[in-house]
Amino acid sequence: MEKQETDRRMKHIHPVFDQIMGREEKERLLNQRGLVLWFTGLSGSGKTTIARHVERELAAEGLLTQVLDGDNIRTGINSNLGFSEEDRQENIRRIAEVSRLFLQCGVVTLACAISPTRRMRAMAREIISAEDFLEVFVDTPLGVCEARDVKGLYRKARAGEIRNFTGIDAAFEAPPNPDIHIRTEERPLGECVRMVLDAVRSRVR
């Protein structure tokens, strides 16, 4: 943009930083602390299912939450992104930035994204800040996810209709040190949900 044009536009913008309500004030208003739960795991591992149930339970306790689901976000803010390495990284960067906005509002944010590499998750943690970030590894073996095939994507990936599908022809790097490690094939959904709730409750009140 021409400098003249930028100057003309800025002339009508009057930031009022001293009146901006900060995170603490918003947290007091909501009577809760903001937190980001970052759900990582294969497609169909259970990230969204667990997050939705956690959201319901927390709502019943009067806590305000927001679920950010990778699939939903890809149809909106990230609709211009594909599945190349670069686009995947950008997908995660934006989900992390949006999570941070909710966090600054004092909202308990549940971000669900495969986020297959350590590098991506490290970036998300850095954007959000380590003290506000809980990594939830939804650890379900590939065979179980594939048998569930909730969205029919594994069948398509095996048939070569989808390329770079995590677990099939793209790697998933398991988090070595997740804050919460949920092995979904070993426990019913209710127990998986409880594991997350136990970790969250003490941090958000």
CB nearer ligand ADP, residue 69 or residue 132: 69
Out of 35, 36, 37, 50, the residue judged to bind ligand ADP by CB under 6 A: 50
Q: How far is the CB of 7 from ligand ADP (least distance, A)?
A: 47
167 near ligand ADP, judged by CB under 6 A: no
Out of 68, 180, 192, 204, the residue judged to bind ligand ADP by CB under 6 A: 192
d(CA 8, CA 110): 40
89 near ligand ADP, judged by CB under 6 A: no
Out of 40, 43, 65, 166, the residue judged to bind ligand ADP by CB under 6 A: 43
Is-catalytic flag, 115? yes
d(CA 36, CA 171): 25
For residue 83, give the 3-state DSSP assignment: coil
Torsion of CA 182, 142, 73, 179, to 10 degrees: 20
For residue 65, give the 3-state DSSP assignment: strand
Q: Strand pairing partners for 138?
A: 182
Q: How far is the CB of 189 from ligand ADP (least distance, A)?
A: 4
Nearest to 36 by CA among 76, 93, 95: 95
92 near ligand ADP, judged by CB under 6 A: no
- Active site residue: 43, 99, 115, 129, which one? 115
**Two tokens at 19?**
């009146």
194 near ligand ADP, judged by CB under 6 A: no
Nearest to 175 by CA among 125, 100, 102, 104: 125
Give catalytic residue positions: 115
Give the footprint of ligand ADP on this chain (CB under 6 A): 41, 43-50, 112, 138, 148, 150, 184, 187-189, 192
